[in-house]
Chain A
């Protein structure tokens, strides 16, 4: 696992605004001894991708209420939410429903 874990992160519904207005990020997660879960992915996103206002994306250890998370087009609530273990080539989509209009 020298190359780390390659995954695609996508942001939509306004969440992309906090990530330099870019909707799609191909990232490689560094190798570590624990398996990558969404729980430890979120702080990584905060440190590496998030451009501004972390309080608008994260709340406590999870995402802010109103932001939906889809792993490979499936609801993360069916996959164990924060405890879902990320696999290579996963696509994780964060879509905000907080914006009216």
Chain B
């Protein structure tokens, strides 16, 4: 008989309460419902919700970045986090006059169903759910598709309402799928997807004339990003990926107003406001936790949360403090940024740098013991002194005569603007993105705009190389 519960209903009070007090530590009145890790406080429902709202507003306020004239695009995926973001924004707009947000907000949903191989019916259903969710807040909503990056012209965003139908461009979707299928490892797939998503966001923001983008990363996500970024060789750009403001793009800033909130706080907030969410599986859903670097760092951070809760915020705070000196310096031309993630490239590597050592060991490994000779070294990216003389358009070939002969005939460098190879693209990428490109099998799968930029830059480079000898 387990009738113990029936007999003494008042048993609750006698139970030893582990660490927490009986009442909310803020208002000392109501019963606490949530234990917030960082503060080590038990809050009641009302105090907790006020606390979340306050943190959100103070994050925006402290940044001193929001202007009344701003137009913000809130990235909305239908997930719990992004719904909480919309709800908080909505709350901010319904405040009394002196506290009300003055900027304008639009909502953008990106349909990624193609990559995940969802049937069209599921994707349309998701779209409808997302439309319903955004409609209840009265923001004007738009949607676009991840595959629009394969389209060089044309409008990207379509207004989203209850009746909007998902139109699919089969050709572009196939290209996108081809690109993802061409990448062999899940780590690189996820990383590529992240970069693509970022580009679509930026492009859509420009089209919708928004100068700020809000994304809904929590501090827990950012702690995961920090560890992933370091493992992926993106240490140099981590600062952009995890701080409040990503200002890589000159016109549009990406802000992360939820970064002071943990995933737990966000989940509780959504439960208390009964916020619905659409669950759209991602590439790594239901995957083994060791299937990608991202999943591994996620597992690591989650286990930290469980056993050493304050360590997560240490990871996050550390990441926040890291900045790169180049990020504050004046922007150069668009030439020296990575074509995938727009991070500033570190021009030529210093002699004996670790990136050079990596290149070297990769070269040796790929050539094998017999294939290595004096010439092989010239394949390495040039450093300041050693390899400066090598013309990059001619690759490892020592004989620059052949290149110039061809150049005479065709009017441009013979190694060709139309013959874009993966190694050309790789040269225009940062270290982290190079790892993605390494995983890509053919160049043709890359999005049209990336290929286009790569072509233009390669053309400029070869032009520069061919006139180099005539310059004083």
A and B interact: yes
Q: Is B184 an interface residue (CB 8 A)?
A: no
Q: Would you give the 0/1 interface string for B262-276, flagging 1 where the beta carbon is closer than 8 Å to chain A?
A: 011011100110000
A99 near B282: Cβ-Cβ < 8 Å: yes
Q: Say yes or no for B1: interface residue by CB 8 A criterion.
A: yes
B1–A66 CB distance below 8 A: no
Give the distance to chain B from A11, nearest Cβ to Cβ, in Å.
Answer: 10
Known contacts: A17-B279, A75-B35, A100-B282. The answer to whether A66 contacts B305 by CB under 8 A is yes
Which chain A residues border B330 with CB–CB below 8 Å? none
**A97 contacts B15, C-beta separation under 8 Å:** no
CA distance A70 to B274 in the complex (A): 13
Q: Which residues from chain A contact B6 at a C-beta distance below 8 Å?
A: 1
In this assembly, does B379 line the interface, its C-beta being within 8 Å of a C-beta of chain A?
no
Q: What's the Cα separation between A65 and B308 when bound, in Å?
A: 12
Contact with A17, one of B285, B298, B299 (Cβ below 8 angstroms): B285
Q: Give min CB distance, B178 to chain A, whole Å.
A: 23
Q: B414-452 CB contact bits vs A (8 Å, 1 = yes)?
A: 000000000000000000000000000000000000000
Do the beta carbons of B2 and A95 come within 8 Å of each other?
A: no
Question: Mask for A39-73, Cβ within 8 A of B = 1, else 0?
Answer: 00000000000000100100000001110101001
With an 8 A cutoff between CB atoms, is A3 at the interface? no
A58 to B81, CA, bound (A): 23
- Pick the contact of A1: B1, B77, B280, B298 (CB < 8 A): B1
**When the two chains form their complex, are residues B302 and A13 in contact, meaning their CB atoms are under 8 A apart?**
no
A68 touches B264 (CB 8 A): yes
| A36 CB contacts on chain B under 8 angstroms | 2
Smallest CB separation, B435 vs chain A (Å): 20
In whole Å, how far is A63's beta carbon from the nearest beta carbon of chain B? 10
Pick from A17, A56, A85, A98: contact of B5, CB below 8 A. Answer: A85
Distance in angstroms from A35 CB to nearest chain B CB is: 5
Q: Please report the total number of A residues contacting B with Cβ < 8 Å.
A: 36
A32 to B20, CA, bound (A): 31
For A14, what are the chain B residues with a Cβ–Cβ distance below 8 Å?
Answer: 279, 281, 285
- The majority secondary structure among interface residues of chain A is loop
**Which among A33, A36, A53, A77 has the greatest number of chain B C-beta atoms within 10 A?**
A77
Which A residues, 69 to 94, have Cβ-Cβ distances below 8 Å to chain B?
70, 73-75, 77-78, 80, 85, 87-88, 93
Complex contacts, A33 vs chain B, CB 8 Å: 1-2
Q: Taking A5-B2, A95-B267 as contacts, is the C-beta distance between A13 and B279 under 8 angstroms?
A: yes
A65 vs B5: C-alpha distance when bound (angstroms): 29
B279-A95 in contact (CB<8A)? no
Q: Is B410 an interface residue (CB 8 A)?
A: no
Min Cβ gap B14→A in Å is: 12
Give A66 to B306 CA distance when docked, in angstroms.
Answer: 8
Residue on B nearest A97 in the bound complex, by CB: B263
Q: Which residues of B contact A74 (CB under 8 A)?
A: 31-34
* Contact present for A98 and B298 (CB under 8 Å): yes
- Is B267 within 8 A of A78, CB to CB? no
Task: For the complex, give the distance between the alpha carbons of A88 and B67 in Å.
Answer: 52
Are the CB atoms of B35 and A78 closer together than 8 Å? Answer: yes
Q: Is A31 engaged at the interface, CB distance under 8 Å to the other chain?
A: yes
Whether A99 touches B279, Cβ cut-off 8 Å, given contacts A1-B6, A56-B286, A80-B18, is: yes
B267 lies within 8 A of A73 (CB): no
Contact code string B66-92 (vs A, CB < 8 Å = 1, else 0): 000000000001011110000000000
Contacts of A97 in B (CB 8 A): 80, 220, 263-264, 266-267
The chain A residue with its CB closest to the CB of B78 is: A101
Instruction: Tell me if B210 counts as interface (CB < 8 A to partner A).
Output: no
A21 to chain B, nearest CB (A): 9
Decide yes or no whether B338 CB sits under 8 A from chain A. Answer: no
Closest chain-A Cβ to B430's Cβ sits at a distance in Å of 22
Chain A residues within an 8 Å CB radius of B221: 100
Query: Does B306 lie within 8 Å of A65, measured CB to CB?
Result: yes
Q: Which residue of A lies closest to B218 (CB)?
A: A97
Task: Give the contacting residue for B268; candidates A56, A75, A80, A87; CB below 8 A.
Answer: A75
- CB neighbours of B5 from chain A (8 A): 35, 85, 87-88
Known: A32-B2, A68-B267. A101 touches B280 (CB 8 A): yes
B342 at the A/B interface (Cβ < 8 Å)? no
Closest to A67 in B: B302
Q: List the B side residues contacting A88 at CB < 8 Å.
A: 5
Task: Give, as a whole number of angstroms, the nearest-CB distance from B50 to chain A.
Answer: 17
Q: Taking the complex as formed, is B132 at the interface, i.e. its CB lies under 8 A from any CB of chain A?
A: no
Minimum Cβ distance to chain B for residue A94 (Å): 11
Min C-beta distance of B271 to chain A, whole Å = 6
CB distance from A40 to the nearest CB of B (A): 11
Complex A-B, nearest 8 residue pairs according to Cβ-Cβ distance, in ascending order:
A66-B302, A97-B263, A65-B302, A65-B306, A74-B33, A75-B34, A77-B35, A101-B79
B positions within 8 Å CB-CB of A = 1-6, 11, 15, 17-18, 20, 31-35, 42, 45, 77, 79-82, 220-221, 224, 263-264, 266-268, 271-272, 277, 279-282, 284-286, 298-299, 302-303, 305-306
Question: Can you identify 22 A-B contacts, CB atoms within 8 angstroms?
Answer: A1-B6, A12-B80, A12-B271, A14-B279, A17-B281, A31-B2, A35-B5, A53-B286, A56-B286, A64-B302, A65-B305, A66-B263, A66-B298, A78-B20, A78-B34, A80-B17, A93-B271, A95-B271, A97-B267, A98-B298, A99-B279, A101-B77
